[in-house]
Amino acid sequence: MRKLVECVPNISEGRDRRIIDEVTGQVDATEGATLLDVDPGADTNRTVITFVGDPDAVVEAAFRLIKKAAELIDMTKHAGEHPRQGATDVCPFVPVSGVTMDDCVALSKRLGQRVGEELGIPVFLYEHAATKPEWTSLAEIRVGEYEAWPSKLGKPEWKPDYGPNKFIPKTGAVVIGAREFLIAYNVNVNSREKKLAHQIALDIRDRGRLLRDGNGKVVKDEQGNKLRKPGLLKECRAVGWIIDEYGKAQVSINLTNYHVTSMHKAFDTCCEVGLEYGLRVTGSEIVGLVPLEAMLMAGRHYLEKQGRWPGVSEKELLHIATHSLGLNDVAPFKPEEKIIEYAVGGRANALVDMTCADFTDELSSESPAPGGGSVASLCGSLSASLSAMVAVLTQGKKGYEEQQDELAEVSAKGQRLKDEFLLDVDRDTDSFNVLMAAMRMKKKTDDEKAARDTAIRKATEGATLVPLGVLERSIAALELAEIVAEKGNQNSLSDAGVAALSAHTCAEGAYYNVLINLASLAPSDFTRETRAKAEEALKKAREISGRVTTRVETKLQ
């Protein structure tokens, strides 16, 4: 899975386009980072910037952005409707794919330390990165806003996590942290009455509605505080409004942690609650972008409700999610524009995007890549796909009742393995291209020769680890083939056998690629450990393959 982190810095400038463009230009200038959205507000005098990329690129882009904002924005002259505290007001990291919240906390600390030390700006960590319970909330750090820093900074209790404990008039302070992805999600209803949509919002949102007695009066506690009836969904904010352009009302929802309350949970709950007010949900829309996993979760949910196994392709899961959530209700839902991982995009001319004919044409050309490593990875994906197919063909079959749960898991694992192997098809070629680039480096001076030698060694080690990963993953593919050969639909036994043979080819081919790369490296701990891992993995792969092919051949006689 690709490692992808979102970063959403807010800068205290929403009117001067020149400044905004120069600041956001720092993201465009950082390799590996992709600028997704720039949302300036004149009244707030604030711009929300959204970009994504691999972890290292995102940290670098964020640092450059904060540095440029500090150069161009003077907080002594700033005024706006939105609460603010610094030239770069807040800078959160958000896990999207292949990274954890702990990873994002580590990124926020890396950035915070660099900003504090190199730029001399006070840095406070918040939310999941907070070093004090009271700093978990951004609002608590921002109490009194920019104007309060002269009196707060300098005190021991306000010592920042990084940077000087003193007021810096021009830049103010910056708050850096890690938080969950926020999904802006609107559910459409068959009414033009805002108040009806708002009734749904009051019922579902986390904070709920004010508690009232039989006479409609707000109930208070002994201290005079208004009491509330909690809503049905946690980590959910919601209001009702009307969109004239659509000719219908919406329940406008912010899901602050989609792992706690998912889109499909919010949608289904709106459907249920809406019936109490005579409303029918007609569909929904995603505002901005959404992580791929949030869509896949919805696809799996609705497949399971239909009594189907969720072990289907990513494309099918997205199709089910899109139509089950009614995402085409008010405008066409385009995954390539709305799903973060797709919007960022892969490389142009990726091998896995080719037709079979085009791939084999490229394979048969004079170019040394793609080669055997990519083919071995492709064999692994074919093996996993076949095992998933046999598992699905066993669903609901008479005589296989006891195997249903295990085979359901096989179908899901097969899909995941297939996708990983497909990524390896291009990873293998990419690693070879990196090695070729290292070999083309200059080598006239001693320094150039040393740099080239180091680059070649690192690139060769990287090129070795790719097929090693494929080899180790082939064992998982063989284990799936063994399960479906033994417990799957016996009418598809030959398919299970081909799955095992394909995985075996994958293992042997990957092993060859490990060996040829190791041969070009000087003996070291890396070469010894890698060879040992490869030999152990190949031995296990051969053992499983032998068991499966023997079983299949015996039963087919």
DSSP state of 192: -
Of the candidates 420, 405, 554, the residue with the CA atom closest to the CA atom of residue 475: 420
What are the residue numbers of the active site? 82, 428
Q: How far apart are CA 273 and CA 262, in angstroms?
A: 16
For 5, 45, 340, 468, the CA distances from 81, given in Å and listed in that order, are 29, 7, 30, 56
Backbone angles phi, psi at 207, to 5 degrees: -80, -10
Q: How far apart are CA 518 and CA 182, in angstroms?
A: 45
Of the candidates 104, 105, 108, 72, the residue with the CA atom closest to the CA atom of residue 90: 108
Beta bridge partners of 248: 243
**Which residues, at least 6 apart from 409, have a Cβ–Cβ distance to it below 8 Å?**
311
Residue 512 C-beta-side C-alpha neighbours within 13 Å: 12
SS3 per residue for 348-405: CCCHHHCCHHHHHHHHCCCCCCCCHHHHHHHHHHHHHHHHHHHHHCCCCCCCCHHHHH
What tokens does 15 get? 């009117």
Beta strand pairing status for 10-11 and 281-287?
A: unpaired
Helix (H, G, I), strand (E, B) or coil at 274: helix
Of the candidates 496, 486, 467, the residue with the CA atom closest to the CA atom of residue 383: 496
Is the bond preceding 370 in cis, omega lying within 30 degrees of 0? Answer: yes
What tokens does 538 get? 């190949």
Q: How far apart are the first and last CA of the chain?
A: 41
Amino acid letter, 473: R
Burial grade of 466 (CB within 10 A; 0-12, 13-18, 19 or more): buried
